[in-house]
Structure 1
Amino acid sequence: MWPWVAQIGQGRGWFYSYAALENLVGCDIRSADRVVPEWQDLRVGDPVSLHPDMALRVAAIEAPRSLVLHGGVPIDAIPPPYDFTWAFVVRERPDGSSRLLVRERWTYTRWWAPILVEPVEIVSSVMHQKMLRGIRDRAERAAAYDLAPDGWAATAA
C-alpha cells in the first residue's frame, strides 16, 4: 500500500479519487494505475501539489509507514487563515494485510476560517472515501499480479 501513498500528488500518482470533480477546479488529475519508481523518493520539505498552483510540503515521513503533509492555501495576498496537516499512516496487520488511515487536522488562525473550511470538509470527506477505495483497489490488484502465474504477471506489468 505504501508505494501508492508515496506517489500521491498532482503531477505524480494523483489522488485516486473523483478525477472529474478535481478537474472542475483545474487540478489536471489522471490517477496512476501503476507504481512509478521515480515518485517513490519523498523527503521532508518536498512539495506535494494539490493543484498546478498549490502545494503542501512533506513535514514528516517514515517510509513505509507514514507521510505527513503540511501547509495551507493563501487567499490572494492573505496568508492561509488556518494551519493544515494531512497524515497518511499504513498499519500492518498480523495476517500480512495492511490498513491505511488518513487524517486531516485544521487549526484556525482567523475567526472566519471555519466559514471557508467547514464546507470544504464535506467535499473532502467524500473525496477521502473514494481515495481510500482507489488506493485499496490498486494495492489489491498489484498484489494479485504478484501472486499470479509468471505469464500473467509479466503480461499485467
Structure 2
Amino acid sequence: MTAALIRRSVVVGAALAYAVLLRPRLLTWGATRTEAMAALPGDDIVRARWRTTRAITISATAADIWPWLVQMGFGRAGWYSYDWLERLAGAGDFAEGGSARSVLPQFQALAVGDTVPLSPVGGMTAAVVDPPRALVLRMGMSVLTGAPARVEDRAILDWTWAFVVVPVGSRSSRLFVRARADYRPRAIGLLIPLLLEPVHLLMERAMLLGVRRRVQGAPW
C-alpha cells in the first residue's frame, strides 16, 4: 500500500468517524436523543434539510427565563454569547454595549410579525410568540449578504430559530434551541458542515450558558 493511499484512507476514515460519531453530538449538544427527535413549536414552518437541537437545564421557572429570551437581538439585549465575535461581524451593537446582564423593560413586548434584528442589514420575523413557553423566529436570507432574501437571489437560506422552555420541576426547566433550514441551491448543503456548523455550535452553546448564568444570577 502506497503512502498516498494510506493518507487517503486515514482522511476518509476520519471523515466517516466525524460524520457518524462526532457530528450528531455537536448538532444535539446538551439534548438527549429523545429530546432531539421530539416535535417542538415551529417545526411546521419550513422544510428541514438541516436541523440542530441543543438544550440546557436551568434552575428556574419558564416565567423567569422568558424575559431574557424575548429581549434578545441586535440593538436590543444581544445574544448572551461572544460579543467580540458579534462585533467582528458588524452585529455587536447592543442596548447595554455588550449582551445585557439585566432584564430590559423596553424589549419585553413582542408580537407575531415583529422583527428581531440580527444585524444592521436584516432581522428575523417573530413567527410564534407564546409566553413563557415558545419563541420562534424566521428569516429568508441571502447566503452571500445576510440581508433578507429577494426573488432574484441565487443562494437563499430559509430558516427558523426556536426557543422553547419546558418545565421539569417546580423550580427547574429545560431550554431548547432548535434551528431548521431549507436552502437553495442544494450545493449549500455541502458547505454547511464546514462553514456554518462550527461557528453555530460555538455561539449557540455560549448563548445557552449565558442565559443560564443570567437567569440563575451567577456572579460575573
**TM-score band (shorter)?**
0.7 to 0.9
Q: What runs of 5+ residues in structure 2 fail to find an aligned partner? A: 1-64, 146-151
- Cα pair distance change 1:9/1:95, threshold 3 Å: same
**2:115 maps to what in 1?**
47
Superimposed CA distance per residue, residues 83-135 of structure 1 (whole angstroms, 9 cap, x where no aligned partner): 10000001112232122100100112322222453311220111000000000
**Runs in 1 of length 4+ with deviation above 3 angstroms?**
115-118
Q: Which amino acid aligns with 1:15?
A: W
Superimposed CA distance per residue, residues 6-28 of structure 1 (whole angstroms, 9 cap, x where no aligned partner): 11101111100001111111012
Contact 2:91 2:118 in 1 (8 A): yes
Match of 2:156 among 48, 66, 81: 81
Structure 2 distance, partners of 1:50, 1:28, is 9
Q: Which amino acid aligns with 2:74?
A: Q
Contact 1:82 1:110 in 2 (8 A): no
Give the secondary-structure state (helix, strand or coil) at the position aligned to 2:207: helix
The structure with more radius of gyration = 2
**2:167 maps to what in 1?**
92
Counterpart mapping for 1:61-80 below 5 A: 61-74=129-142, 75=144, 78=153
**2:204 maps to what in 1?**
128
Q: What runs of 5+ residues in structure 1 fail to find an aligned partner? A: 145-157
Structure 2 distance, partners of 1:79, 1:37, is 40
Structure 2 distance, partners of 1:45, 1:23, is 27
Q: Which has the higher contact order (CA 8 A, sep 6+)?
A: 2
**2:106 maps to what in 1?**
38
Q: Structure 1 residue 4: deviation in Å?
A: 0.4
Q: Structure 1 residue 79: deviation in Å?
A: 6.0
Give the secondary-structure state (helix, strand or coil) at the position aligned to 1:99: strand
Give the secondary-structure state (helix, strand or coil) at the position aligned to 1:121: helix
Q: TM-score, normalised by structure 1?
A: 0.83
Give the secondary-structure state (helix, strand or coil) at the position aligned to 2:169: coil
RMSD over aligned Cα atoms = 1.9
Q: TM-score, normalised by structure 2?
A: 0.60
1:10 matches 2:59: no
Contact 2:154 2:184 in 1 (8 A): no
Q: Structure 1 residue 65: deviation in Å?
A: 0.4
Contact 1:73 1:79 in 2 (8 A): no
1:106 matches 2:170: no
Q: Which amino acid aligns with 1:51?
A: S
What is the aligned-residue identity percentage? Answer: 41
**1:150 maps to what in 2?**
none
